[in-house]
Structure 1
Amino acid sequence: MTKHQINGARRRVLQSLPALALANYLPNALAAGKEQPNIIFILADDLGHADLGVYGQTDFKTPHLDRLAADGIRFTQAYANSAVCSATRFALITGRYQYRLRGGLEEPIAGASDTIGLPPSHPTLPSLLKKQGYGTALIGKWHLGYLPTFGPLKSGYDSFFGNYGGAIDYFTHKPGVGPNVKEDLYEGEVPVHQIGYYTDLLGARAVDFVNKQQAGKPFLLSLHYTAPHWPWEGPGDEEISRNIDNIFHYDGGDLATYGRMVESLDASIGRVLAALEKKGLAENTIVIFTSDNGGERFSKTWPLTGQKTELLEGGIRVPAIVRWPGKVKAGQVSDQVAISMDWLPTLLAAAGGAPDPKFPSDGQNLLPILLGQARSNERTLLWRYKANAQRAIRSGNWKYLKIGKNEFLFDVVKDQRERANLAKRHPEVFAQLKAQWETWDKQMLPITADVRTHGVSGPVQADRYGVPASGSVPD
């Protein structure tokens, strides 16, 4: 690499740390009197990068999400902010690196706490959209802290139906197993009991929400499914639900069951999109679909390696689809690098707003790219994960990765499977990215001994045979 190339790479890294240059590319996305768009943000849980037909899945079909991609733009290099669920959700709702908040350090949040959660005073996507006149609703998974201190109604949502924690059984709606475990299903802040497969319940509630909307009153609907997160239960598997002895369901599941779970998710989303169309609101509604982290044990992530809890590409690369009829040209496939925290500045720009200046976004406003007003640009993105002492930074096509005591440098565009370690061939790039990660890390909250983490260990998953039962290898 020449000195000129090194300096160029260094400039890209430094320019990425504050809100990026394109964040204010459009002073106001709503030129003179344009109607504000509705927003439906659909988040899957633990969906693999290649788990949709349009991304390469061939074992089962996802016609509704494939059609959504055909009608809009599909990103091939989209990332989650973390390799685990609640951490990504902090970044998604705040538009900032999750490591700026104590709750965002958890991998993931588990159990009630008066201190671990999203502070109600922190600006969020729904609270900022409310200032732009939006009605806001969350249907599905919250996972950003428990009552009475934290909750969606305290952080910008007008209404909520769903679960506060990280996972619930699809039939009992309990976060664990046994008669003494209480259901985690709420209407606002009040526990409720409903019968049905959870994916279907969430879709039905979303259809009801859409049917109540009227043109001219913009809304944000955050539709955050738990599918296809474990336990491994398809819509016809209530008998399995009655017989599991652990919510992690380590002794269950198979590819066929996983396929039914994803197909059920796709069908549920299809019903929501059909309701939007029937209501006459589809034309002016931005629909976004993505996942909170990479795939789990039955997911398809080809050609990537790694999975949830790992900073290999398979643990953080996710599908991402955007449809906005009349504004976003249909049939597009974009290689723009994107990440969860980009959606806040992007959607605020579409609504005519902007992030709170006291809490500037670490993400990039992608609206100019979505609208065809700007070309793809190189990014620098950074991650860390406590289990296995993982570090990662992607700058341009380069990626520095550390797992335990092993360090790597990959060209992740040319070498998607992260096999060819180029650290010795390009020592200057390796050193520069490693140093940049360390500089960035000092700006984030420290990872302390009390921070919870979760890794996949050898006793649980055979292909992780080198990882001890603690789920972590030493740094």
Structure 2
Amino acid sequence: MHGPNRNGLSRRGLLGGAAGAALASLVPDPAFAARPPAPGRRPPNVVFVSVDDLGWDELGSYGNTFNETPELDRLAREGMRFTSAYAAAPLCSPTRAALMTGRYPVRTGITDFLRGEPAASDKYLSPDIPTLPDVLRPFGYTTGLVGKWHLTETYSGPYEERPGNPHAHGFDEVIVSERKYIGDGDYFHPYSFIPDLPAREPGEYLTDRLTAEAVDYITRHRHEPFFLHVSNYAVHTTLDAKPDLVAKYRAKPGAGQAPNRPVLAAMLESIDQQVGRIADTLADLGLDRDTLLLVTSDNGGPYRDANQPLRGGKGELYEGGIRVPLIAYWPGTVAPGQRNATPTSTVDVLPTVVDLAGGDPGGRFDGRSIAPVLTAGHEVERGPLFWVYPHFIGRTHPHAAVRSGQFKLVQYLRDGRSELYHLARDPAEGSDLSARHPQKARQLRTLLESHIADSGLFPALPTPEHYPTVELAESFDTDLRRWSVLPVTAYAAPPVVDGGRLAVTTDRMTHLVFRSDVAPGSDRVAVVLDPGTFAEAGTQDTVFVGLARDAGNYLLFRYHNGLRRVGWDLRVDGALITAGAEPLDNLDGTVDLTGPAARYAFVLHGHRATAYVDQGGGWEFLFTADTGGAVDFGDPAVRAQYRYAASVRLDDGTVTLDGLTARRA
């Protein structure tokens, strides 16, 4: 059997926007403050500057010769430059969730970037999870966010009332944070995603506005410990910069040659000026020796040539998608001119701050403190680092990765195939060593699969072992007495039950939903469709499996045989809701249900439903649909209105179904 569940390990569910199992272990603990700062010593300030989509090779200190980043390069010379620093995810929202919690994204419920509404989900970073303001408040910290949040996809109603907004997480100040979806970027006032924000100066550039707000925040709070996240919207697409800087870079030699991008370079110069102003402000206020300044990226760059020599880019778990620049600057504490190869991740930031403040991070986080690296300059051994990206983006399929020492394993979640690399010898990940080092590959696979199992991210495979109680076993041996036949289209060809098969024959468009008389007995169920024959004609030989209330309200997973295409249809009050869906066309042509042992499964796990397919060789993971924002099947009252269902849609020929089985855990 294939995919992330092939060891048959038990799964724990997700609650709301967060991993339920993690919530129990994340309640605020007074042990955080068990070691208060020594008398007369206040905890250090921390300014964390994140640059959106900054690639590995885009700073001068990391080897770029076209972009001009003198301030960042100075901080790298006078501080520490990390060479094995990682974002916690290959995309922004999960990395930001990791920063806020010190936990891997799979434990926060945020594993993908959050799309704008309307969407068939309602994801946000749950305030039930202790986050950075909660953790640092006992040490006397005030906390501020200047800029991008992107941890709620609800963009309507008063900002402070939206689920998962930064105020709900306890930030003392939230400044210039988006009110609408930030999708394509917007860098000159008026800002489309912050429509009610007045400009502070004519022709205001967004990065400059964040800079001014950061300087003001530092000045206001100079007499108390503070944590400030300066969260840039740049250099995210669509690229836009100040005209004079764009002209400067377009006039430079090599401006028209890859990987040089004059507009991106101009945007990055504004970021560089921002960091310089922040460093100067700290020095002018006498705070530089009391402040750790960190600068990094939320994921790898989207332009692969900006990540050279690393492989891949944003959205991928190869090094180009997750290895990022990280500069640490702290005069008097971080010794100048250091290059450090310690593997570190976004999840390490919060435990590091707790450690520096005098607390004991203990085992409360997935990350670990790198305070000894910063204060003593040592490279330290650490445990494995994990990444799980169970989504589709571009042409990338769900995959996961683990790094342990210099070895890294990348595993694809559908079929379980894996690749092994030695990063010190092969940072470009060009030579798969899994055949040469099978024992190391097995060791890392075991680590990774255990991490995925513990996260509760995937439901159990749709087998009797995991879902022992049979609720429906329909083999179509008699008639449709227990079924309601619900036409979705105006014309409906009559179905026929004959010889253990349900058949629909038509020469014009017909879409029928077959709703059983059995409601799911829990929110942990598996529904397995045994398809029969397909029309092999027309354009719509499609079968479905899932749950239906009536012809206008259902969640059904579909398989289109002509295109070998899978996907999901969520219909609410007659309207199909597709916003928020992943680009599942990545799966087109890769699924075939025409074989004699082929099966298609709908597995419900609260408000999430997961598709598995068995093409004759065992169950494979396909995709997950989160419907919490539209229909919450975790709610017993909602679930009681729905029944197990199958469906057929075709416009010519005959489609048959062999059976439908539903079981609950």
TM-score of the aligned structures, taking structure 1 as reference length: 0.79
Q: Give the drift of 1:192.
A: 2.2
1:360 alignment counterpart:
364
1:261 aligns to 2:299 (yes or no): no
Which residue of 40, 57, 61 corresponds with 2:68? Answer: 61
Aligned letter for 1:193? Answer: P
SS in 1 for 2:72: helix
1:320 aligns to 2:326 (yes or no): yes
Aligned pairs for 1:161-240 (under 5 A) are 161-164=175-178, 165-167=181-183, 168-172=185-189, 174=191, 183-185=192-194, 191-194=196-199, 196-215=204-223, 217-236=224-243
**Mean Cα displacement is larger for which, 32-41 or 133-142?**
32-41
Q: Give the drift of 1:384.
A: 1.6
1:129 alignment counterpart:
136
Q: Distance in 2 between matches of 1:45 and 1:305?
A: 19
Q: Which has the higher contact order (CA 8 A, sep 6+)?
A: 1
1:411 aligns to 2:422 (yes or no): yes
Structure 2, unaligned runs of 5 or more: 1-21, 247-258, 460-566, 569-578, 591-620, 624-665
2:290 alignment counterpart:
284
Q: Give the drift of 1:115.
A: 4.0
Deviations 1:414-456 (CA, angstroms, capped at 9, x unpaired) = 1000001111101111122112211110111325899968679
SS in 1 for 2:366: coil
Closer/same/farther in 2, CA of residues 75 and 455 from structure 1, 3 Å limit: farther
Q: Give the drift of 1:159.
A: 0.8
Q: Give the drift of 1:311.
A: 0.6
Which residue of 377, 389, 392 corresponds with 2:398? Answer: 389
2:474 alignment counterpart:
none
Which residue of 342, 345, 356 corresponds with 2:351? Answer: 345
Deviations 1:61-97 (CA, angstroms, capped at 9, x unpaired) = 1011111111211110000110000011111100001
**Mean Cα displacement is larger for which, 401-410 or 283-292?**
401-410
**Mean Cα displacement is larger for which, 328-337 or 367-376?**
367-376
Deviations 1:297-351 (CA, angstroms, capped at 9, x unpaired) = 2762121011000111000001111112212211111100000000000011112
Instruction: Give the conservation status (yes or no) of the 8 Å contact 2:114–2:151.
Output: no
Instruction: Give the conservation status (yes or no) of the 8 Å contact 1:36–1:218.
Output: yes
SS in 1 for 2:455: coil
Q: Distance in 1 between matches of 2:398 and 2:222?
A: 50
Q: Give the drift of 1:213.
A: 3.0
1:270 aligns to 2:264 (yes or no): no
1:433 aligns to 2:437 (yes or no): no
Instruction: Give the conservation status (yes or no) of the 8 Å contact 2:351–2:369.
Output: yes
1:398 aligns to 2:407 (yes or no): yes
Q: Give the drift of 1:378.
A: 3.8
SS in 2 for 1:39: strand
Aligned letter for 1:304? Answer: L
Q: Give the drift of 1:219.
A: 1.1
SS in 1 for 2:448: helix
Deviations 1:200-233 (CA, angstroms, capped at 9, x unpaired) = 1111111222232333x11111100011111111
Q: Distance in 1 between matches of 2:79 and 2:353?
A: 16
Q: Give the drift of 1:52.
A: 0.8
Aligned letter for 1:204? Answer: A
Aligned letter for 2:186? Answer: D
SS in 2 for 1:86: helix
Aligned pairs for 1:359-378 (under 5 A) are 360-372=364-376, 375-378=379-382
1:35 aligns to 2:35 (yes or no): no
Instruction: Give the conservation status (yes or no) of the 8 Å contact 1:161–1:185.
Output: no
Q: Give the drift of 1:407.
A: 2.6
Instruction: Give the conservation status (yes or no) of the 8 Å contact 1:171–1:238.
Output: no
Instruction: Give the conservation status (yes or no) of the 8 Å contact 1:30–1:350.
Output: no
Q: Distance in 1 between matches of 2:264 and 2:458?
A: 34
Q: Give the drift of 1:373.
A: 7.5
SS in 2 for 1:131: helix
Same amino acid, percent of matched pairs: 34
Q: Distance in 1 between matches of 2:63 and 2:585?
A: 28
Q: Distance in 2 between matches of 1:453 and 1:89?
A: 21
Which structure shows the bigger proportion of residues in strand conformation?
A: 2
Aligned pairs for 1:66-81 (under 5 A) are 66-81=73-88
SS in 1 for 2:113: coil
Q: Give the drift of 1:109.
A: 4.2
Closer/same/farther in 2, CA of residues 173 and 391 from structure 1, 3 Å limit: farther
Q: Distance in 2 between matches of 1:62 and 1:416?
A: 24
Q: Distance in 2 between matches of 1:323 and 1:238?
A: 27
Q: Distance in 2 between matches of 1:156 and 1:322?
A: 26
1:158 aligns to 2:165 (yes or no): no
Instruction: Give the conservation status (yes or no) of the 8 Å contact 2:78–2:337.
Output: yes
Q: Give the drift of 1:110.
A: 3.4
Q: Give the drift of 1:27.
A: 7.8
Aligned letter for 1:171? Answer: F
Deviations 1:87-125 (CA, angstroms, capped at 9, x unpaired) = 1111110000111122x1233443378941112232111
1:85 aligns to 2:102 (yes or no): no
Q: Distance in 2 between matches of 1:310 and 1:455?
A: 15
Deviations 1:136-184 (CA, angstroms, capped at 9, x unpaired) = 110010011144222111112111112334443112565xxxxxxxx32
Instruction: Give the conservation status (yes or no) of the 8 Å contact 1:54–1:66.
Output: yes
Closer/same/farther in 2, CA of residues 150 and 89 from structure 1, 3 Å limit: same
Q: Distance in 2 between matches of 1:109 and 1:118?
A: 13
Instruction: Give the conservation status (yes or no) of the 8 Å contact 2:289–2:333.
Output: no
What is the number of residues matched between the two proteins?
Answer: 415
Greater Rg over alpha carbons, structure: 2
2:383 alignment counterpart:
379
Instruction: Give the conservation status (yes or no) of the 8 Å contact 2:117–2:580.
Output: no
Closer/same/farther in 2, CA of residues 392 and 274 from structure 1, 3 Å limit: same
Instruction: Give the conservation status (yes or no) of the 8 Å contact 1:309–1:456.
Output: no
Which structure shows the bigger proportion of residues in helix conformation?
A: 1
Q: Give the drift of 1:374.
A: 5.4
Q: Give the drift of 1:457.
A: 9.7
SS in 1 for 2:324: strand
Aligned letter for 1:58? Answer: T
Instruction: Give the conservation status (yes or no) of the 8 Å contact 1:139–1:206.
Output: yes
Instruction: Give the conservation status (yes or no) of the 8 Å contact 2:313–2:321.
Output: yes
SS in 1 for 2:308: coil
Q: Give the drift of 1:198.
A: 0.8
Q: Give the drift of 1:30.
A: 4.0
SS in 2 for 1:41: strand
Instruction: Give the conservation status (yes or no) of the 8 Å contact 2:52–2:236.
Output: yes
Q: Distance in 2 between matches of 1:295 and 1:79?
A: 12
Q: CA RMSD in A?
A: 3.4
Q: Distance in 1 between matches of 2:107 and 2:236?
A: 26
Structure 1, unaligned runs of 5 or more: 1-16, 175-182, 240-252, 459-465, 468-472
Closer/same/farther in 2, CA of residues 416 and 234 from structure 1, 3 Å limit: same
Q: Distance in 1 between matches of 2:433 and 2:328?
A: 34
Aligned letter for 1:306? Answer: G
